[in-house]
């Protein structure tokens, strides 16, 4: 509204001037306008064409232009409307640098054709667009805490670019109980301010005061500006150094290295500067020993270790310390430091052997005292609490028993056995309970003395020794060794044969053993056909007191050698003679001509006899069974066949090397022969016996008689023989004439060591009927005849009736 009123007034003036110009023509005239500063661009100022009395079209035709004098052109003429408008926003404070109440901008409006100039003055009115500003945003003041109240301090005043009522009007100070301000007005209306001290300052309580000074102008709305006042209170030495507490307690570990910081004292002095610089020192109340072990830094108050601290010598230390400032009149404070030494586990526990047995016998009783030991530790608490134990890496037959405080007894806890372990290294380990745990050990060497508590032991309880017959007398059969884990004379062994008689013959006559090393020798040559095995005991005895012994059973098995040639017992013949057989020429194919029977005194494969034709007149006429020795015809005789045939049969055993015997059989053929009944067996007439067969019958009777006498003698000897005490032995003796065999000889072969004396009587008929006559033999006499052709089954005694040879009782001669 104020601006509009001014504009209306100005227009009235302009109208009057226009009338004056119209009267005077080219007379000089000035046109004035008033506008506030900071108007926006394009704002209307005045209608220049109307105010100057010009036609709007003439402004364009006469090239009207605006010339601003000594200033930037902030205005422009709109030639279409004749209006004067704002070209650029104007700042009164920029245009009128001097701080005056009025500000004019002078310009000319120039027209051409004809030239005409109009003078225009534009007054720029001030608005409150600037806030008060302090020349110094921060003001620093140093005020001694000894300054009395009422002292005044000048402050920098604020300035405002605006003028008149828009300039600085007053000042305000932030709240403070120590300071206030005093405002004064200058001759030019400027406002000045002073800072006034209202109370006594205490730097230690409030060293710095931060105040805010605010300047406010008189504009509507008012504007303001602020400045910061920092008041530094200067110190005087009015405070003594103080410690946070009168007594300090600190712990330090013993054996702390030199230079270890125990603690750092930090006394405080509320003063500053040299008044607050402190020097630390021991007072006279601190002992010299303490000062030797601990150092005190006078500048930092740091207490360090400078000697060896040993808990075992001293558990605590007292220090009396003062802190003094460096003021003109120095002040000091005092404190007491209690240093408590913390015990470290720095002493190893000790174990001492008070009493010791270096050796004990292995038969000592459980609970026997071996050693007395004592343990100790210089440390305290858990560091001095100790435990004693044995090395647990191996199970030891010992234990520890606490007898009194710090004393232990080492006792035997289990029976000792020197053969298991002859020496013990008993490690006693003593450990404390500190952290880290410290330990010490002591080793006791205990030797176990031997006693004769172990009998000799053979590696096996039964020895079977195979000896080939025909051995050399005195030959080494085997070596028997026993072991005795005892020592010295308790392990020296002596070997001997436990006596046992066999048919009035002592074992020591058959065998001998070396008493020192257990070598067993045979003292005679053994014959398998007479002795097949021996069973006896050998004893090993140590030299301890009393002596201990053990025995082992020895079974000597005689092995058979092929040392007996097969003996042909059938057909019987005198030494070197030829066996003659007579058969009719009408004999059918497959007729049994003769049977060769051979016996071998050996056993098993050495006694297995097979038969072969060594020589034969006509190989197409006869065949020989290699297993049973039967000679049979392979075809009927023809008129071309000679009347006499010659066969050489060889009986060979299966030994290595094989042994053999031969028999020559001469076979004669006749035209006629005696005939027997086919369905029954008839007794032979005297006429069928030849001289050879008669000799066989006589020999068979004599042999049977001798055999019966022998069996009776053996039975009597067996009844008189004492029974074995330990192991049942088979009835084998070296003088027996009876051979017990379990051979697996095939074929119908007579197998016996006494078969030489057994003969077969073969009677030959035209039909091939063979009658065997034998003497009456007591049942169970022990002759063995294999009766299963080509078999490996067990032998059968002569009681069997399944033989291929028929057995008939002897018949009386007619």
Task: Look up residue 502 and give its two tokens.
Answer: 């066999």
Bridge partners for 214 per DSSP: 172, 226
Cβ atoms within 10 Å of 418's Cβ, excluding its own? 22
Question: What digits encode the pLDDT tens for the residues 153-165?
Answer: 988 888 887 787 7
Topology of the domain comprising 350-449: Immunoglobulin-like (2.60.40)
Tell me: cis bond preceding 70? Omega within 30 of 0 counts: no
Question: What digits encode the pLDDT tens for the residues 179-201?
Answer: 999 988 877 778 889 999 998 88
Task: Look up residue 811 and give its two tokens.
Answer: 């018949």
Cβ atoms within 10 Å of 653's Cβ, excluding its own? 23
Separation CA 720–CA 734 (nearest Å): 16
Q: What is the CATH number of domain 567-670?
A: 2.60.40.60
Pairing of strands 247-253, 332-342: parallel
Integer Rg of the chain from CA: 77
Q: What is the 3-state secondary structure (H, E, C) of 351-386?
A: EEEEEECCEEECCCCCCCEEEEEEEECCCCHHHCCE
Q: What is the CATH number of domain 31-125?
A: 2.60.40.60
Contact 766, 755 (CB under 8 A): no
Question: What digits encode the pLDDT tens for the residues 212-235?
Answer: 999 998 888 898 899 999 999 888
Stretch among 71-75, 195-199, 386-390, 808-812 having the lowest mean pLDDT = 808-812
Hey, which bits of 283-315 come out as E strands?
A: 294-296, 302-305
Q: Does this model's pTM top 0.75?
A: no
Q: Is the pLDDT of residue 757 over 80?
A: no
CATH classification for the domain delimited by 242-342, as one of 2.60.40.60, 3.40.50.1220, 3.40.50.150, 3.40.640.10: 2.60.40.60
Task: Look over the chain and give the mean of its residue pLDDT values, rounded to a whole number.
Answer: 79
Q: Is the pLDDT of residue 242 over 80?
A: yes
Q: What is the three-class DSSP state of 597?
A: strand
Question: What digits encode the pLDDT tens for the residues 724-746?
Answer: 444 333 333 333 322 333 332 23
pLDDT at residue 501, as a whole number: 66
pLDDT bucket at 261, cuts 50 / 70 / 90: very high
278 — phi, psi (to 5°)?
Answer: -110, 150
Question: What digits encode the pLDDT tens for the residues 649-687?
Answer: 999 988 888 888 888 888 888 886 554 433 333 333 334
Separation CA 794–CA 371 (nearest Å): 74
Contact 521, 512 (CB under 8 A): yes
DSSP class per residue in 175-193: --SSEEEEEEE-TTS-EEE
Nearest Cα neighbor of 316 from 295, 338, 288 is: 338
Cβ atoms within 10 Å of 141's Cβ, excluding its own? 16
Q: Is the pLDDT of residue 24 over 70?
A: no
In the 8-state DSSP scheme, what is residue 678?
Answer: S
CATH 2.60.40.60 correct for 457-559: yes
Give, in order, the Cα–Cα distances in Å from 44 to each of 52, 77, 652.
16, 10, 165
Separation CA 633–CA 622 (nearest Å): 4
CATH classification for the domain delimited by 133-234, as one of 3.40.225.10, 3.40.50.1820, 3.40.50.300, 2.60.40.60: 2.60.40.60
* Residue intervals in the chain for CATH 2.60.40.60: 31-125, 133-234, 242-342, 350-449, 457-559, 567-670
Q: Is the pLDDT of residue 605 over 90?
A: no
Task: Look up residue 705 and give its two tokens.
Answer: 């008689």
Separation CA 365–CA 412 (nearest Å): 8
Question: What digits encode the pLDDT tens for the residues 496-541?
Answer: 998 776 666 788 888 999 999 999 999 999 988 888 899 999 999 9
């Amino acid at each position: 509204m104020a601006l509009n009123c001014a504009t209306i007034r100005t227009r009235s003036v302009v109208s009057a001037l226009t009338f004056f110009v119209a009267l005077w023509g080219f007379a000089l005239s000035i046109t004035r306008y008033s506008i506030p500063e900071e108007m926006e661009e394009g704002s209307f100022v005045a209608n220049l064409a109307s105010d100057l009395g010009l036609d709007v079209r003439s402004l364009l035709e006469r090239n009207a232009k605006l010339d601003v004098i000594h200033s930037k052109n902030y205005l422009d003429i709109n030639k279409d409307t004749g209006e004067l408008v704002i070209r650029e926003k104007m700042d009164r404070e920029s245009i009128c640098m001097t701080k005056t109440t009025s500000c004019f901008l002078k310009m000319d409006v120039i027209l051409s054709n004809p030239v005409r100039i109009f003078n225009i003055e534009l007054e720029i009115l001030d608005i409150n667009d600037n806030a008060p500003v302090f020349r110094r945003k921060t003001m620093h003041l140093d005020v001694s805490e000894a300054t009395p109240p009422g002292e005044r301090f000048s402050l920098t005043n604020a300035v405002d670019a605006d003028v008149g009522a828009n300039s600085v009007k007053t000042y305000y100070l932030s709240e403070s109980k120590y300071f206030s301000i005093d405002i004064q007005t200058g001759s030019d209306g400027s406002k000045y301010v002073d800072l006034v001290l209202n109370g006594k300052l205490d730097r230690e309580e409030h060293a710095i005061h931060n105040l805010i000074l605010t300047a406010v102008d008189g504009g509507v709305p008012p504007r303001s500006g602020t400045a910061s006042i920092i008041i530094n209170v200067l110190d005087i030495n009015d405070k003594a150094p103080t410690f946070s507490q009168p007594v300090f307690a600190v712990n330090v570990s013993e054996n702390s290295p030199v230079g270890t910081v125990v603690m750092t004292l930090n006394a405080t002095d509320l003063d500053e500067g040299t008044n607050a610089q402190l020097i630390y020192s021991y007072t006279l109340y601190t002992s010299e020993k303490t000062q030797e072990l601990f150092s005190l830094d006078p500048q930092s108050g740091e207490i360090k270790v400078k000697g060896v601290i040993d808990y075992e010598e001293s558990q605590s230390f007292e220090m009396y310390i003062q802190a003094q400032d460096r003021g003109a009149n120095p002040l000091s404070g005092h404190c007491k430091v209690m240093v408590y030494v913390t015990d470290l586990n720095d002493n190893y526990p000790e174990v001492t052997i008070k009493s010791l047995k270096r050796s004990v016998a292995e038969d000592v009783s459980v609970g026997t005292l071996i050693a007395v030991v004592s343990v100790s530790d210089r440390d305290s608490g858990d560091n001095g609490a100790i435990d004693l134990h044995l090395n647990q890496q191996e199970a030891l037959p010992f234990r520890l028993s606490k007898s009194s405080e710090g004393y232990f007894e080492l006792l035997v806890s289990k029976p000792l056995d020197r053969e298991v372990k002859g020496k013990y290294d008993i490690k006693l380990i003593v450990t404390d309970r500190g952290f880290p745990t410290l330990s010490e050990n002591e080793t006791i060497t205990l030797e176990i003395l031997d006693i004769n508590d172990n009998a000799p032991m053979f590696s096996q309880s039964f020895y079977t020794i195979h000896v080939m017959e025909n051995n050399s007398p005195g030959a080494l059969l085997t070596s028997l060794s026993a072991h005795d884990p005892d020592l010295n004379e308790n392990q020296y062994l002596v070997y001997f044969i436990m006596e046992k008689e066999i048919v009035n013959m002592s074992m020591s006559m058959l065998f001998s053993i070396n008493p020192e090393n257990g070598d067993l020798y045979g003292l005679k040559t053994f014959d398998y056909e007479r002795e097949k095995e021996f069973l006896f005991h050998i004893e090993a005895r140590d030299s301890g007191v009393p002596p201990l012994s053990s025995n082992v059973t020895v079974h000597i098995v005689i092995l058979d050698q092929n040392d007996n040639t097969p003996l042909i017992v059938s057909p019987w013949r005198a030494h070197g003679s030829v066996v003659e057989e007579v058969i009719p020429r009408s004999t059918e194919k497959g007729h049994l001509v003769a049977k060769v029977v051979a016996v071998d005194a050996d056993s098993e494969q050495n006694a297995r006899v097979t038969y072969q034709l060594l020589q034969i007149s006509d190989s197409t006429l006869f065949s020989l069974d290699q297993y049973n020795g039967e000679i049979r015809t392979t075809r009927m005789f023809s008129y071309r066949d000679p009347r006499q045939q010659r066969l050489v049969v060889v009986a060979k055993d299966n030994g290595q090397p094989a042994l053999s015997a031969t028999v020559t059989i001469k076979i004669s053929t006749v035209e006629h022969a005696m005939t027997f009944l086919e369905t029954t067996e008839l007794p032979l007439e005297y006429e069928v016996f030849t001289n050879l067969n008669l000799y066989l019958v006589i020999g068979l009777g004599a042999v049977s008689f001798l055999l019966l006498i022998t069996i009776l003698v053996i039975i009597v000897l067996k009844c008189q023989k004492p029974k074995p005490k330990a192991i049942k032995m088979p009835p084998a003796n070296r003088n027996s004439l009876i051979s017990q065999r379990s051979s697996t000889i095939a074929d119908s072969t007579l197998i016996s060591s006494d078969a030489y004396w057994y003969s077969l009587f073969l009677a030959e008929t035209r039909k091939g009927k063979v009658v065997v006559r034998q003497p009456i033999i007591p049942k169970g006499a022990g002759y063995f005849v294999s009766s299963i052709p080509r078999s490996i089954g067990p032998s059968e005694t002569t009681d069997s009736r399944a033989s291929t040879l028929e057995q008939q009782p002897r018949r009386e001669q007619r």
